[in-house]
Structure 1
Amino acid sequence: MQWARIQTEDGTILTGVIRAGALHPRTALGASESAGDPVALDDATMLPPCVPGKFLGLWNNFHAAAAKNGLTPPDHPLYFLKSATSLAGPRDSVTIPDGIGRVIFEGELGIVIGKTCKNVTPEQAEAAILGYTCVNDITALQVLFADPSFPQWTRAKGYDGFGVIGPVIATDVNWRDLTVKVLVGGRERQSYPMSDMIMAPTDIVSKLSQDMTLHPGDIIACGTSLGARPVKAGDIVEVVIDGIGTLPVTLVAAD
């Protein structure tokens, strides 16, 4: 099953399930109750598939990247929060603010929470996960380390549009079989297997739920591995995960 969120030609925003080229509206994300007639996807604009109350991103969650960078695998997720206004969706244009220096893409798998959970076990966390989506965790790398006294994770990753998700939330994929790829201008620039993750999604959700209550629609970006690199205004960046879809955005310069 694939969940999506669309805007119709008259401006109506709908959440529902994709089937036979149409969105079948539901009353809420993950709900089974119908909320109207199907809408052809050709007549709608795809939006981020959910609006997270919390958008969390992980650091140091892949064995290959940890080994290359001399990092010790963590016992608890190392994470940051992206701002609500960083949210962007398929085919959006993302503006690179003036004066922030190098910007990099980070193709990632995103966990989408489907049920409220707090202090859950990994087994309980399985039931709390609605599905998975593509993420492009765009980062202003020079801003991150501009002040040696304080790494600026929130600022570097919180600019408008720097948290791209979509195109859908897939509920029937096995994360162990997935490969995250990133294309820039049609050329493959990043490719790595999700099976290399240090912490499995159920462990991530369980451990994060010890720190905070997770709600339906919350996004957890699983972190990236080797291959993230700089991009510039004019680039079309696509995160591709077979079984979920292709998530393209265009980077543009500030006016």
Structure 2
Amino acid sequence: MQWMRFRHGGEEGFGVRDGDSVQVHRGDLFGSHAPTGQTLPLAGLAWLPPCRPGQIIGLWNNFRAAAEKNGWATPAEPLYFLKSPHSASAHGQAIAVPASYDGRVAFEGELVVVVGRQARAVSVADAPAHIFGYSCGNDLTALELLHRDTSFPQWTRAKSFDGFAAFGPVIETDFDPAAATLRTLVGGRERQHYALADMFFPPAELVSRLSHDMTLMPGDVIFCGTSLGVLPMKPGTTVEVVVDGIGSLVNTYG
């Protein structure tokens, strides 16, 4: 099933995408819910991020091809950072150039894991039961902030400007990352094309390992990291992240 959130007539709602329409539901996306019987055309809706994350966790150096190309060591454990929950942005939403930063900003097409149940110190075997589904993501980075202060790498700031965690358009609950590929198109030109099976730490292992560090809650999202092809982009650039079986996330930067 493909779950989505939307705004219609000034009200927020959620439901199951069915082609060019959505079957509206009431209740809690991660708890008890039921269809209302109302169906709305997608054309009349504003997309919202498909869930409201309490935590946004991003992975660094989680793909073998990128590690080999860049001379990075194989990580012994997941290397991750946190992004502000307020950096979340939706499919179709414009991402503004930060008012306090005028340097280079890079796109990063990524798979996003959406947590569906509270996870605390779960095993790898039990982790899939805590995954609600998957989405497409674009983890934007203010490149020149990362190491501008040599005494303090600014991962949080560089990753947390408004809109810098785009994900959507939906959460797909029936998806096998090991059999899928991700493509990123920038201004219509393919810049990334990689197999999701190339991860050092696939989704179930990520959920397990992270849950031993912190409690994961329903709606939390994990950006699984990216592979080769990341580049800076100019204001006015449209980026499309495509994962067959999930859909296409499209945003314009600036």
Alignment TM class, shorter chain as reference: over 0.9
Amino acid at match of 2:106: I
Q: What is the identity percentage for the equivalent residue pairs of Structure 1 and Structure 2?
A: 50
CA contact (8 A) 2:112 2:134 kept: yes
CA drift of 1:78 comes to 0.7
1:79 aligns to 2:80 (yes or no): yes
Q: Deviations over 1:45-69 (max 9, x none)?
A: 1111001000000001000111112
Partner residue, 1:69? 70
Partner residue, 1:15? 14
Q: Deviations over 1:82-109 (max 9, x none)?
A: 0122110011111112543111000000
- Segment of structure 1 superposing worse, 12-21 or 118-127: 12-21
CA contact (8 A) 1:131 1:172 kept: yes
CA contact (8 A) 2:49 2:167 kept: yes
Partner residue, 2:29? 29
CA drift of 1:35 comes to 5.2
1:225 aligns to 2:224 (yes or no): no
Partner residue, 2:52? 51
TM-score by length of 2: 0.95
Q: Deviations over 1:183-233 (max 9, x none)?
A: 111111111110100011111000000011101110000000100101111
Q: Which runs of 5+ in 1 are unaligned?
A: none
Measure, in 2, the Cα distance between the counterparts of 1:26 and 1:113.
20
Q: CA RMSD in A?
A: 1.3
CA contact (8 A) 1:106 1:138 kept: yes
Measure, in 1, the Cα distance between the counterparts of 2:102 and 2:199.
30
CA drift of 1:22 comes to 1.9
CA drift of 1:42 comes to 2.4
- Segment of structure 1 superposing worse, 217-226 or 182-191: 182-191
Choose which of 223, 246, 249 in structure 1 pairs with 2:248. Answer: 246
CA contact (8 A) 1:120 1:206 kept: yes
Q: Deviations over 1:8-31 (max 9, x none)?
A: 1x1111122223522331411234
Q: Deviations over 1:113-143 (max 9, x none)?
A: 0001100001111100011000100000011
Measure, in 1, the Cα distance between the counterparts of 2:135 and 2:27.
20
Amino acid at match of 2:12: I
3-state secondary structure, aligned to 1:161: coil
In structure 2, the CA distance between the partners of 1:104 and 1:223, relative to structure 1 (3 Å rule), is same
1:87-166 matches, within 5 Å, as: 87-98=88-99, 99-166=101-168
Amino acid at match of 1:12: E
CA contact (8 A) 1:102 1:142 kept: yes
CA drift of 1:43 comes to 2.3
Q: Deviations over 1:144-166 (max 9, x none)?
A: 11111111100000001100000
Measure, in 1, the Cα distance between the counterparts of 2:114 and 2:188.
27
Partner residue, 1:216? 218
CA contact (8 A) 1:15 1:27 kept: no
Measure, in 1, the Cα distance between the counterparts of 2:143 and 2:243.
24
Amino acid at match of 1:222: C
In structure 2, the CA distance between the partners of 1:46 and 1:39, relative to structure 1 (3 Å rule), is farther
CA contact (8 A) 2:169 2:247 kept: yes
3-state secondary structure, aligned to 2:34: coil
Q: Point out 4+ residue stretches in structure 1 off by more than 6 angstroms.
A: none
3-state secondary structure, aligned to 1:204: helix
